[in-house]
Structure 1
Amino acid sequence: MHEEKSNQSWQSLAFVWAGAMICVPSLMIGGTLVTGMSFIQALLTGLIGYGIIVVLMILQGMQGTDLHKPTVSTASQVFGKVGSQKIISIILMIACLGWFGIQANVCGQAFSTFLATYGVELPIQLSSLIWGIIMLVSALYGIKFLNILNYVAVPILVITCVYGVVVSISNTAGGSIFDYQGSGELSMASGLAITIGSFALGAVIAGDYSQYCGSRRDVVKAAALGILPSGVLMIGVGAVLTITAGTADIAEVFMGIGSPILGVIALILATWTTNAVNAFSGGLAMINVFDISKEKEKIAVAVAGGIGTILAVVGILNYFVPIMSVLSAMVPAVAGVMIASYWVVQKGDPAKWAPVNGVNWLGIISWLIGAGVASAPVILSFFPALPQLPNQPLIGIVLSFICYLIGRKVFAKQTNVEITKVEE
């Protein structure tokens, strides 16, 4: 049975991962990093951050390949069937709503900036509202249209980036880019939190995409060759465009590459296609979280997109860094618990894996401890009067990993009883 499912080549999966990297948020990561550190540090931070993502993807993806199941199913041992569905869905919902708001805000800014070059004033809030609604309606009724649009959007974004880099380098001495130092206000730890947060969700749910791979080796090759080259390249492109444009505002960067029309088309198409997926995925996650009937799927998608649009109107883009930091705290902690269970307790043996009915509180509490402690520095940063903590993006995954193993030792008898509750 497994052989029938193992029909995905590592090359095809690598292209999926590379396609996920070639997007506007990856450029924004590069621009954000290079404003606070040197160009070389930004590239190094991107390499290390995405390297950590690749390790998580490999460990998570191998579980999917071994068991031939998606992430919600593989996590049903460590969180329980109900717990797994709720936790994964809550994280998916939060991430999708946040990303919808950020992308709609980017699109709104780009359109307003574009119109301003021709003397037309359109408030960014109104522009974000208009584009958020367009993206939402597309998600509800235009999936086939969006699939076609996606094939157009990615090449245009790539062409625009290449064109922008060529123009930037031709107008600037190459050495000045490599010598660029930034403000020095962004630490390596904060830079890693931003980078890891940008694709942490993809790492945790890697099993959804690798469950049809033929071997663990395929998972390794697809993750390493799909994520690292494209991810670091996009950070480099975003950094170069930001340095030469003198701003990290992605809309202004694209308007200043020599062809405002090409720039605005690239940004609108790229954010539009991505956001339709965000609204749709956010709606499905909302159905799972709140036990909404499948018949009300379109209503859930509309609500998800509506919330994302409101976030765009209020300027969620201004909180891009803390949002990425929160995601880098919450999401990898899920992988920490799953890795502890599958790779340490079960020693990577799929024969020892078995789902747990209901809720496995040991896994959920371990995740909450890791996610809570890792989120504390970000939450405290909103209250300058309180003592501040350094941002340690990997503390969540380490803590959840350790808490699960310790908890399992302490409650060994109870946990052993739980994991024998094999699905009928």
Structure 2
Amino acid sequence: METTDYEHGVVPQDQRKGWLSIAAVWIAIGIDLSGAFLGIELASGMAFWDAIWATMLGSLLLGLLAMACTYVGASTGLSTAMISRAVFGRIGGAVLAIAITISLVGWFAVQTGFFGQNAQIAFHEFTGIDVPVQLFNAVGGVLMAITAFWGYRSINRLSSLAVPLLLLLLVVGVVVAFIQHGTAGLDARVDVTYTFGGAVSLVMGIFILGVVLSPDMARWAKTPKQAMAAGFVGFFFGNSIILVVAILLARVLNQTELMTMYFTLGMGGIAVVVLILAQWTTNTTNLYSAGLAFSSISSRLGRRTVTAVLAVIGIVIGVVGAADVFVSFILVIGTLIAPYGGVYLASFLTGRRTARWAHGAAVPHVDAWSIIAWAAGVLVAFATTNPADGPGFGWFTITTISSLDGLLVGFAVYVLLWLVRGGRRADAAQAVPDARTDEVAA
């Protein structure tokens, strides 16, 4: 099996894939137990249609943002961490790569925790035997690490097989729930604990890191247009499907665990299949991107070796209970990482014809302007987060979606600083010949 994933360079054109197979990867990532958890939370804390519209709006915004971020990945052929080198400089990019790695290993640990909790429920329902959840965490983590170790091609094959089956099983679960229990539960009154803006922010927060890191997969697209199509379809449908299914099942069955819901419907076997496939396809990409990010720090670091080490770390963290801090974790991640997406979008759109975007080009140790723009985005994201919705100050509002606020401000501040510095005139000294630029942007 071909194992090179071009972690230190550009994906060759003859290795690139069609948009549908890449979209399948993102749909598979979106169908996971963390999405089910959030859907259940929204179902118990909002009116039914408010929860559905918050899901649709948040997923639509994710899809639109993904179109922009995937364009950068396909145009450059570089991973997100390699892009950070062009944006923040050699040292600045390395620091950000470490931050991305920590975030993704944390996600990997959280997802193994969810897998363990639900696998324990399924095993008890089938056998009546109580097995420590830590065992399921470890087994699930190893399973997810295997595909990440082999790389993108393995992830692509897994997703292509899993997505049709997952969609079928999820739809069947909803249909059976309606047949057995009707739709009366959809209109049940609940205590409202989430604002609409807060819910949209959560919906975006659960996948915003995936949007910002989408170049890791988009660099495999044949053309930027195909990457954009894959990004919109993958993130809009991938993020919304599991949330809508979880909201529907939680309301109809009045349950708070996805596995318990399926066993209530007499579909325990299907529950196990959904559990394994959903977490496998999602969590393997967290570890894959973590390996890409950390290996980008030095050409001496091999992605496969780094991935194996990070897998051990993530499994240990998952076993000790990282899933317990899930909601706070995704809010903080969305606040810190989203502004980076705005900064690299602005940097690419304003300076794509400069030498630093050519693979292997010399870059400064640290690009202070990019870091200032990112810091401004983070500050605004915290400032606009309502304390009732997560870590933040609630000083003012912009879009009511704090992660989106941070991304937009990071983008705007970078562009403003670029204009103050002289815009294209300031970049002229770094200009590269058209042929070389076209090679990078193709």
Q: Taking structure 2 as the reference length, what is the TM-score of the superposition?
A: 0.78
Matched residues in 2 for 1:146 and 1:229: separation?
A: 19
Equivalent residue letter for 1:122: V
The C-alpha deviation readout for 1:115-137, integer Å capped at 9, x for no partner, is 33232112324432443345446
Of 397, 410, 417, the match for 2:407: 397
Whether 2:226 is the aligned partner of 1:246: answer no
Q: Which moved more, 1:35-44 or 1:243-252?
A: 243-252
Counterpart of 1:405 in structure 2: which amino acid?
V
The answer for the alignment partner of 2:274 in structure 1 is 266
Shift of 1:165: 0.6
Residue in 2 that maps onto 1:161:
170
Q: Deviations over 1:37-95 (max 9, x none)?
A: 122112211221122212222222233444454444555443224433542x2343133
Displacement of 1:154 in angstroms is 3.8
Distance 1:116 1:4, change over 3 A: closer
Asked if 1:357 corresponds to 2:370, the answer is no
Gaps (5+ residues) in structure 2?
Answer: 1-10, 358-362, 437-442
Partner of 1:329: 335
2:295 corresponds in structure 1 to: 287
- CA deviations on 1:301-360 (whole Å, 9 max, x unpaired) are 3432233223323332232222221222122211211233344x45xxx44574443321
Does the CA-based 8 Å contact 1:198-1:324 persist in structure 2? yes
Q: Which amino acid aligns with 1:201?
A: L
| Matched ranges for 1:16-415 at <5 A | 16-87=25-96, 89-117=97-125, 118-133=127-142, 135-136=144-145, 153-174=162-183, 176-177=185-186, 179-211=187-219, 217-289=225-297, 291=298, 293-294=300-301, 297-298=304-305, 300-343=306-349, 345-346=350-351, 350-351=352-353, 354-355=356-357, 356-375=363-382, 392-412=402-422
Q: What CA distance in whole angstroms lies between the structure 1 residues aligned with 2:16 and 2:266? A: 45
Are the equivalent residues in 2 in contact too, given 1:153–1:266 (CA < 8 A)? no
CA distance in 2 between partners of 1:277 and 1:203 (Å) = 13
Contact 1:135–1:275 (8 Å) recurs in 2: yes
C-alpha spacing 1:361/1:415, structure 2 compared with 1 (3 Å)? farther
Contact 2:81 / 2:296 at 8 angstroms: preserved in 1? no
Paired residue type of 1:194? L
Q: Pick closer, same or farther for the CA change 1:5–1:55 going to 2, 3 Å.
A: farther
Instruction: State the distance in 2 between where 1:212 and 1:126 align.
Output: 36
User: 1:38, 1:31 → 2: CA distance?
Assistant: 12
Q: CA RMSD in A?
A: 4.0
Q: Distance in 1 between matches of 2:220 and 2:136?
A: 42
Query: TM-score, structure 1 length as denominator?
Result: 0.80
Question: In structure 2, do the counterparts of structure 1 residues 21 and 136 end up closer, same or farther at CA, with 3 Å as the change threshold?
Answer: closer
CA separation of 1:413/1:166 partners in 2, compared to 1, >3 Å: closer, same or farther?
A: closer
Counterpart contact for 2:155–2:285, Cα < 8 Å: no
Q: Is the 8 A contact 2:383 2:394 kept in 1?
A: no
Q: Write the deviation string for residues 157-194 of structure 1: whole angstroms up to 9, x where unpaired.
A: 333312211121112223542x2454310112221222
Tell me the distance in 2 between the aligned counterparts of 1:297 and 1:4: 23
- Structure 1 unmatched ranges of 5 or more: none
Q: Is the contact made by 1:109 and 1:251 (CA closer than 8 Å) also made in structure 2? A: no
Q: CA deviation at 1:12?
A: 4.2
Distance 1:248 1:411, change over 3 A: farther
The aligned counterpart of 2:7 is none
CA distance, structure 2, for counterparts of residue 331 and residue 296 of structure 1 = 22
Q: How many percent of aligned residue pairs carry the same amino acid?
A: 25
